[in-house]
Amino acid sequence: MCLWTIEGVTLPAKAKGQSRAKGPRGRAMASALALCLALPQLASASSLSGQVTDVTGQAPFAGAVVRVEEIDRSVVTDRFGRYRLNGLESGAYTISIKYLGTPTVTQTVSIPEADAIIDFTIGDDVAYEDNIIVVGTKAAQASALNQQRAATSIKTIIDSDGLGNFPDTTVADSLSRAVGISVETDQGEGRYVSIRGINTDLISSSINGVRTPSPEDRRGVLLDGVPSDLLDGIEVQKSLTPDVDADSLGGVINLKTVSAFDRKDDFFRVKVEGAYNEITEEVSPKASMTYSNTWDDRFGAAVSLSYQNLAIEAHNNEIGEWDQDDDGNFFVADDYEQRWYDLTRERIGLVANFDWNVNDGTKLYLRTLYNRYTDNEVRNKFELREFDEEIIDVTPTSTTIRRGEVDAEVRLREEVRNIQTYSLGGETVEGPWTVDYQASFAYAEEDDTNNHDVTFRSTPEQRDSTVGAITLSYDDPQQPVISGSALPFLLDPTNYELDAYEQEFTINEDTEYAAQINVSRDSMIGQTPVVWKAGAKYRDRQKTRDQNLTFHERDDVVLDQFIRSDADISNWRLANRMFEWPDANLTASLRDTFQPAELVVEDTLLESSVGDFQVDERILAAYGMGTFEIGGATFVAGVRLEQTDVDLLGNFFEEDSLTATPREISQNYTDILPSINLRYDFTDRITGRAAYYAAVVRPAFGDMAPTALLNDDRDEIELGNPDLEAYGADNFDVGIEFYPTNLSVISIGAFYKAIDNAIFPAEFDIADVPATIDLSFLPAATLATIEDVNTFINVGSSEIFGVEVNYVQNMGDLSESLDGFLFSTNLTLTDSEATLPDGRKVPFLKQSNTVWNIALAYEKGPIDLRVSGNYRGDFLDELQGPELDRYADDRFRIEASAKYRVTPQLQVYLEGKNLTDAPEYFYFGDESRLSQYDEFGRTIVFGARFTY
């Protein structure tokens, strides 16, 4: 291909108010794929390009539709408000600009024989900071709706200003109000995101188009570490096109960081706030700063910094396991725990982005993100153990035991996670050809090397000599009550001796190098505009886990030596008394005092070997696709091929001999993944959509790692399964959108997912182990001693189906008396079914059948008010067995914010989080059987934002 340069002619315009197809899998595959597309040639013609902005020229509009009326051709502006139409003959044309929230702008322009560059302006003739379609709640909603409406696939958009309309700390919090999205929380903060009921490990995330690595030993990405202040927007793509990595069953979350060309001229914003929590009774500081500037529309630089030091206190109680007696009564069969968490979460984020418009045809960029998340945690635990061995009496609402073993435990943990992404790329446009290219590096690490966990236990001699009993009453299942004659003895710290001192030195690392190139060409087939596109991508990912733990024991160390004088927790919210003992700072003094003879060799060797693994995964992808405009219809159709090569390394550990034997296994396979997306504009106000795409999600790293643990005492083996097949899914969508007024939408959509090879944990008697579980690495004599096998397997077909409804309304469009009000609500209803190896049918893990949001905002003059409610229904969290599977209870939260603009540059605000003081509750099978209950309290946020 030969590239050349043509000088553009700038004509200023002034317009005021303007079925997963599964390829062969085998050990031998070609190392490269060749894909050839026939791209028809265009006759010599001109192009029309430019930018759509507000009247000041500072704010570009993404998602505006630029249409040439005479030939019924249109194009959508990109993130920077840019558009380009190729293949226009010279002459006069009527150009219309449509953007929800503003009147349609039309203008007649003259296209010369050379290429033309024409900019358009839309919106009111007001200053940048006073333009409600540029800044604020209404602007955020307008931008999101326009981008969603113009998209050729099914997307949900959260605009940059929308990120600031709620009291969000994390990306997950920001996503929790989007249609079809639900969130798992940790210590009250959003952490893992589910799209349409598909859990975190089966969806993918990216930062500026670069796949986000996971600092944990899984594929799912935590989204509580990246501060929302670093972002310029979030895009959730729910139906995939061939030019997108196909490793997601639910969709792709793309986090977009700031660019200098998101606005013109220099830009500066600083935000300072404090957050007061009613349980911690502390104010947590947070600050962020963003600066960007452009020079001669050629070079731009943008820097964003964010810092937060958040204090969290959580009050928790848990039951480990339930069972059922012969009379049908359920009873506590494992332990009861009370936990007190005292945490400080520090988030440091840095974004530095650079853009260089080399000339009118070539644009280059460098995108960088660094994020460091430090979780300092002290956890005190008081645990009543071994209920099943000590039971005296069981009633429908209580379990009574002869006083069993009791633990008093403290954990001091510093978990440091960092995520880094770097991408260097660009785009070159020459005539009808567009070439974009990118090379990227992504790295994530989780460092757990500064931890210790200390357990003091009442000794067997003390237990046997003590007269009395303990009753656990659960009339209120979320807050059981402890009583009994043995209770005073259990609350005396002199009755506890050191049982174990555990230290951890574990590192998880995830590294990915990637490179891609995409080539597209505008063409015509008769009178039908077509954009042909093809590309290739190579990804090289390495996931490693180096787990190291040490266990020590020492006699004659008594708990009362490690207690503070003020050890009682004064603001404890749960039913039973709770202590802040042992004291973590005092137990830390024991770290370097243990002698070699005090090392528990068996536990140390086992835990330091069985958790180690390394996965090297290489993916070579190629695709071809076409985008066709036929009347009111836009089709995007094509196919993607992905070849996967995996090398796996793990350890087989024999507990009896304390030996670890390395295991190395390789896999390779190819997937053929077609897709088609259709958007049809019935009228200017009614749009229909339909989509199909095939997807593949590779097994979780821990599930497929070739690790194995042989427990001779229990005659069982626990192992990963390197022969697991990847999830495959055929995904179908259909929907319709109605835009009844200037800034509103009513949409309804349905989706269906047919999933093959879903992965579940499984337990087998040795005689029933399926052929897909490879035990050939075991010596015959060893295999003969095994009775039970615990591993992971693929199950048969599963399915998920659901409905999404979304309604957004600018109330001023309905009545002048409601001017300033904006209402939004959405509802997602889903259902799913998977069949386990034993024939039992269960819903998909982590899927809430019902998720809904509602929000009312008022924005007029200097005032911006907003209140929102978020509901997430129950979901299956863990498999435990019929009637005892662990579920997360439903949860409803209310948040509110009030902002006041003191000057055009200064805004102050007050926000409230979790205003209903909603706890989090998990139960086993029925809400009457506690698994875990946590309280976090309400939080009030106050702050100021200065923008220049």
**265 Rama sector, left if φ>0, alpha if ψ -120 to 50, beta otherwise:** left
pLDDT at residue 173, as a whole number: 77
Assigned token pair, 340: 């007190």
pLDDT at residue 44, as a whole number: 46
Q: Which of residues 169 and 443 earns the better pLDDT score? A: 443
Assigned token pair, 819: 């001017």
Contact 868, 838 (CB under 8 A): no
Q: Which of residues 19 and 126 earns the better pLDDT score? A: 126
Q: Which of residues 930 and 59 earns the better pLDDT score? A: 930
Amino acid symbol at 90: S
Compute the distance between CA of residue 226 and CA of residue 347 in angstroms, rounded to an integer: 8
Q: Is 50 exceeded by the pLDDT of residue 25?
A: no
Compute the distance between CA of residue 244 and CA of residue 731 in angstroms, rounded to an integer: 15
Please give the model's pTM, rounded to 2 decimal places: 0.87
Q: Is 90 exceeded by the pLDDT of residue 223?
A: no
pLDDT at residue 291, as a whole number: 92
pLDDT at residue 763, as a whole number: 87
What is the CATH superfamily name and number for domain 1-134?
A: Immunoglobulins (2.60.40.10)
pLDDT at residue 45, as a whole number: 63
Give residue limits of the domains in the chain. Answer: 1-134
pLDDT at residue 530, as a whole number: 92
pLDDT at residue 217, as a whole number: 79
Contact 206, 252 (CB under 8 A): yes
Beta pairing class for 210-211 and 204-207: antiparallel
What are the pLDDT digits (tens) for 139-195? 888 888 888 998 999 998 887 665 555 556 677 777 877 888 887 778 878 778 888
Q: Which of residues 105 and 228 earns the better pLDDT score? A: 105
Contact 551, 603 (CB under 8 A): yes
Burial, 2: exposed, middle or buried (Cβ in 10 Å; 0-12, 13-18, 19+)? exposed
Residues 6 or more apart whose CB falls under 8 angstroms from that of 328 comprise none
Assigned token pair, 271: 């935000």
* DSSP symbol at 558: B
What are the pLDDT digits (tens) for 687-743? 999 999 999 999 999 899 999 999 877 689 999 999 999 999 999 999 999 999 888
**893 Rama sector, left if φ>0, alpha if ψ -120 to 50, beta otherwise:** beta
Q: Is 80 exceeded by the pLDDT of residue 226?
A: no
What are the pLDDT digits (tens) for 227-255? 777 788 888 999 999 999 999 988 898 88
Backbone CA torsion sign across 494, 500, 503, 506: negative
Compute the distance between CA of residue 852 and CA of residue 845 in angstroms, rounded to an integer: 19
Backbone CA torsion sign across 171, 177, 179, 183: positive
Question: If pLDDT is split at 50, 70 and 90, which confidence band does 4 have?
Answer: very low
pLDDT at residue 566, as a whole number: 76
What are the pLDDT digits (tens) for 804-829? 999 999 999 999 999 999 999 999 99
pLDDT at residue 158, as a whole number: 84
Question: In 125-180, at which residue ranges do the beta strands (DSSP E only) sit?
Answer: 155-159
Reduced DSSP (H G I as helix, E B as strand, rest coil) percent helix, strand, coil of the chain, to 5 = 10, 55, 35
* DSSP symbol at 938: -
Q: Is 60 exceeded by the pLDDT of residue 759?
A: yes
What are the pLDDT digits (tens) for 271-326? 999 999 999 999 999 999 999 999 988 999 999 999 999 999 999 999 999 998 88
Tokens 């953007």, residue located: 99
Percent of the chain with pLDDT strictly greater than 90: 55
What are the pLDDT digits (tens) for 256-274? 888 888 887 788 999 999 9
Q: Is 50 exceeded by the pLDDT of residue 2?
A: no
pLDDT at residue 216, as a whole number: 83
Contact 471, 484 (CB under 8 A): yes
Choose among 726, 729, 753, 725: nearest CA to 832.
753
Contact 243, 237 (CB under 8 A): no
Average pLDDT over residues 593-597: 93
Q: C-alpha angle with apex 142: 139 to 147, nearest 5 degrees?
A: 125
Question: If pLDDT is split at 50, 70 and 90, which confidence band does 10 have?
Answer: very low
What are the pLDDT digits (tens) for 854-874? 999 999 889 999 999 999 999
β-bridge mates for residue 932, sequence order: 318, 922
pLDDT at residue 20, as a whole number: 34
Q: Is 60 exceeded by the pLDDT of residue 30?
A: no
Beta pairing class for 406-430 and 433-458: antiparallel
* C-alpha torsion angle, residues 384, 315, 879, 413 (rounded to 10): -90
Q: Is 60 exceeded by the pLDDT of residue 512?
A: yes
Tell me the average pLDDT of the chain. Answer: 87
